Amino acid sequence: MEQTYDVAVIGAGVFGAWTAYHLQRAGSSVILLDAYGAANARASSGGESRIIRAGYGLQQTYTELATRALMLWEEFFERTDHTGLFHRTGVLWFASEKDDYERACLATLAQTGVRAERLSREEIQRRYPQFDAEGITWGFLEPAGGVLMARRSVQAVVEEAVREGARYHLAAARAPAGSTEVSRERGRLDRVIIEKGIGNGPGNGESISAGVFVFACGPWLPEMFPDLLGSRIFPTRQEVFFFGVPAGDARFAPPAMPAWISLGDEFYGIPDLESRGFKVACDRHGARFDPAAGGRVVTAEGLEAVRAYLARRLPALAGAPVVETRVCQYENTSNGDFLIDRHPDFSNVWLVGGGSGHGFKHGPAVGEYVAARIHEGGEVSPWSSLAAKETFQQRSVF
């Protein structure tokens, strides 16, 4: 039996979960589907933790979006009694004299009223002696920033959406391309077919009808719409490492240790939270990756590179044991801008993705924006449009 809703959201990562949550609270009837489960181990929204910061060079749009998102995250956590899912560690940026991006960050943060404290090399070394500041000439601290507990935060949003009345099911939707020619001729998508469904939700071969469909499938968007997005969304393989800190040593946990970013080195780190270990990862784009079937065991080369970096920048952790590893993925657009736009063939289909490795923090604000476009109409911003997405990668958003 076909089920009908105002909006069907396919994909329960951070963008999809928040979109469903905002739409349901605004009065729409919503069904949320995910093939593997909310913030599952293969999702770009899975894993333990994500940094939330407002520094984005001269790209004020993302600074404002991140600031709005942090407010929404905090309101949500407070209202739903999930305050432990955000750690206000502060976010420390490292820079050298030639780094114009960090100077642009400070200018934009000041313009938008976000507090930031510029630090000299000597101040960094004095406050954070865990770091070897060789090659660092200055930096700045975003004291309001911190770390979101990623998987649990998304799952909390889904739980609250269900509490508000949304339906959520573990089910895989069939790609619309090639299976809805009649609807395509009318310029609308009438339904999606469930390929695999379990539990009390829609079963195999059943369909879901909706007035609006939101495809927030992250790295699976190219598979859902291969002709349209197969050459515009680039999933890449990214390795993450957690290292055990010395026994009884508080230097690598808050408040002694903030989250930190070194764009010049292409590394970032998260302090030891909830005793899971000190997280370090290279932010350089990895190889092309299949999110469904790709192997998720880190490489010896990746570990060697991270250990070399620790030996240089955090020498006390040079020989630290690996306590956990993870292979995740970015789903990059050509330049790192998000994709938020209507499908060119279906007036009632929205494409929401392209988190590009920095999207998680923005989830609440992205969901709010998508819900507003669905309820209120209006054109999308040029930076998020499909037309702005090229078929080559030239990263400009960090």
How long, in residues, is the chain?
398
Query: What is the amino acid identity at position 280?
Result: V
Please, are residues 336 and 395 in contact by the beta-carbon 8 Å criterion?
Answer: yes
Instruction: Tell me the per-residue pLDDT of 69-108, one tens digit each, with 9 for 90 and over.
Output: 999 999 999 999 999 999 999 999 999 988 899 999 999 9
Please, are residues 113 and 240 in contact by the beta-carbon 8 Å criterion?
Answer: no
User: Is the bond into 382 cis (omega within 30 degrees of 0)?
Assistant: no
Planar angle of CA 278, 281, 287, nearest 5 degrees: 150
The CATH-assigned architecture of domain 1-76+147-233+333-398 is: 3-Layer(bba) Sandwich (3.50)
Residue closest to 338 by CA, chosen among 319, 362, 317: 362
What is the Cα–Cα distance from 99 to 277, expressed in whole angstroms? Answer: 30
Check pLDDT > 80 for residue 177: no
Instruction: Tell me the per-residue pLDDT of 107-144, one tens digit each, with 9 for 90 and over.
Output: 999 999 999 999 999 999 999 999 999 999 999 999 99
* Count of C-beta atoms within a 10 Å radius of residue 278: 24
Check pLDDT > 80 for residue 188: yes
Residue 293 burial (C-beta neighbours within 10 Å; 0-12, 13-18, 19+): exposed
Check pLDDT > 80 for residue 180: no
- Sorted by sequence, the CB contacts under 8 Å of residue 54 that are 6+ apart come out as 63, 66, 67, 70, 109, 112, 114, 142, 144, 145
What is the Cα–Cα distance from 169 to 172, expressed in whole angstroms? Answer: 9
Check pLDDT > 50 for residue 179: no
Six-digit token string for 14: 């951070």
Q: Span 181-189, mean pLDDT?
A: 62
- What does the DSSP 8-state code read for residue 114? -
Please, are residues 146 and 89 in contact by the beta-carbon 8 Å criterion?
Answer: yes
Mean per-residue pLDDT over the chain, rounded: 94
Instruction: Tell me the per-residue pLDDT of 224-280, one tens digit each, with 9 for 90 and over.
Output: 999 999 999 999 999 999 999 999 999 999 999 999 999 999 999 999 999 999 999
Residue 266 burial (C-beta neighbours within 10 Å; 0-12, 13-18, 19+): middle
Query: What is the amino acid identity at position 215?
Result: F
Residue 376: the pLDDT is 95
Q: Span 328-354, mean pLDDT?
A: 97
H-only helix segments in the chain: 14-25, 60-79, 100-112, 121-127, 150-163, 181-186, 221-224, 226-229, 300-313, 363-376
| Buried-exposed string 81-103: b where 16+ CB fall within 10 A, e elsewhere | ebeebbbbbbbbbbbeeebebbb
Please, are residues 210 and 200 in contact by the beta-carbon 8 Å criterion?
Answer: no
| Buried-exposed string 150-177: b where 16+ CB fall within 10 A, e elsewhere | bbebbbbbbbbbbeeebbbbbbbbbbbe
Six-digit token string for 248: 């009884």
Residue 187: the pLDDT is 87
Check pLDDT > 80 for residue 203: no
Please, are residues 146 and 88 in contact by the beta-carbon 8 Å criterion?
Answer: yes
Tell me what percent of the residues of the chain surpass a pLDDT of 70.
Answer: 95
* Spans of all domains in the chain: 1-76+147-233+333-398
Check pLDDT > 90 for residue 176: no
Check pLDDT > 50 for residue 358: yes
Six-digit token string for 143: 């004291």
- What does the DSSP 8-state code read for residue 284? S
Question: pTM for this structure?
Answer: 0.96
First to last CA, the chain: 46
Q: How far is residue 194 from each of residues 1, 169, 217, 392, measured CA to CA in Å?
A: 12, 11, 15, 33
The β-bridge partners of 143 are: none
Confidence of residue 300 (pLDDT cuts 50, 70, 90): very high
